[in-house]
């Protein structure tokens, strides 16, 4: 998985949940989405919400947390 920021891009060593496709689709297509689960013996929490053309997300998995946003560009 690659994390891209204004300062550059970084490789992130993390196991990706098996249902990541469903999670991403729900984050992008719904106005608000919250999911909690258990993956590889660790809890996985995600919260997504829309703010105009911006999809904000917060993810917590193992000992890491990630937050950011995607901007819709048409």
The pLDDT tens digits of the residues spanning 15-71 come to 666 677 788 888 888 899 998 877 667 788 889 999 888 889 898 877 888 888 888
Structural domain harbouring 34: 2-71
15 Cβ contact partners less than 8 Å away, ≥ 6 residues apart: 39, 40, 61, 62
pLDDT at 11: 64
Nearest to 65 by CA among 28, 14, 18, 30: 14
The whole-angstrom separation of Cα 59 and Cα 44 is 8
How many domains are contained in the chain?
1
pTM over 0.95: no
């Amino acid at each position: 998985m690659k994390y891209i920021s204004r300062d550059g891009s970084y490789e992130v060593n993390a196991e990706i949940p098996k249902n990541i496709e469903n999670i991403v689709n729900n984050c992008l297509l719904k106005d608000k989405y919250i999911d909690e689960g258990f993956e590889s013996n660790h809890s996985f929490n995600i919260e997504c919400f829309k703010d105009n053309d911006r999809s904000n997300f917060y993810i917590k998995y193992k000992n890491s947390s990630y937050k950011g946003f995607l901007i819709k560009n048409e």
